[in-house]
Amino acid sequence: MAVELERRAPKPEAQRLLELIRSRRSVGKVAQDPPPRELIEQVLEAAVTAPNHHLTQPWRFFVIAGSARERLGEAMAAAESRAHPDSPQAALDRVRAKPLRAPVIIAVAVQPSDDPRALEIEEVEAGAAAVQNMLLAAHALGLAAMWRTGDAAYADEVKAFLGLDTSAHIIGFIYLGYAAITPPDPPRRSAAELTQWLGWGEKA
């Protein structure tokens, strides 16, 4: 019995982890000084510990900094021009400038496995789990992060820029840097409002 109770006891770091989860915020404005590579590598290492069925590890990561952000912007603008041929130049310029909002962007993609046991939706879900790990790791390391998607995440031009097959899924672009603003706490519904307890309290 003593062993069972010990196994059930919260780990000492549990409250710190829960506080990190509660305090994480999306930060939409960051400074232009880039974080050290060592911190980015820690964020990526957190990503690959995410759960995924059959250990397919379908995620692919692309760290985009410096002039590569401009090349990403060109791919985004090309996709926008194809999808909306009548877009004015000012609108294309705004799309082109989006990657310049942060010194580092990590594009997160999933290349679905050819393992016949792997369901494509579960591969995508694994990618989303990796992103959440990245956001929490960035927060723990003192970095600001924002998970963005938009039309560019689904555009073949952007997939081609990253060297991805059209069958791949871009889960999102993680904009990383040091916070230039303090974001407000967003309104959130409580877990109690969104949860049903089915069979809870019944005897085994």
Residues 6+ apart with CB under 8 A from 40: 63, 104, 106, 176
C-alpha to C-alpha distances, 88 to 33, 36, 63, 84, nearest whole angstrom: 32, 38, 30, 9
Spatial separation of the C-alpha atoms in residues 19 and 60, rounded to whole Å: 29
Q: Does 26 show up as a binding residue in the annotation?
A: yes
Kindly report, residue by residue over 83-129, the tens digit of the pLDDT: 999 999 999 999 999 999 999 999 999 999 999 999 999 999 999 99
Q: Does 16 show up as a binding residue in the annotation?
A: no
| Residue 187 forms part of a structural domain | no
- Hey, which residues does 144 pair with through a beta bridge? 177
Q: Does 96 show up as a binding residue in the annotation?
A: no
Kindly report, residue by residue over 151-165, the tens digit of the pLDDT: 999 999 999 999 999
| Residue 121 forms part of a structural domain | yes
| Residue 88 forms part of a structural domain | yes
96: domain CATH number is: 3.40.109.10
Number of domains in the chain: 1
Confidence of residue 1 (pLDDT cuts 50, 70, 90): very low
| Residue 112 forms part of a structural domain | yes
| Residue 144 forms part of a structural domain | yes
| Residue 82 forms part of a structural domain | yes
The pTM of the full predicted model, rounded to 2 decimals, is 0.92
Q: Does 149 show up as a binding residue in the annotation?
A: yes
| Residue 168 forms part of a structural domain | yes
| Residue 110 forms part of a structural domain | yes
Structural domain range at position 116:
28-180
Spatial separation of the C-alpha atoms in residues 200 and 16, rounded to whole Å: 28
Q: Does 53 show up as a binding residue in the annotation?
A: yes
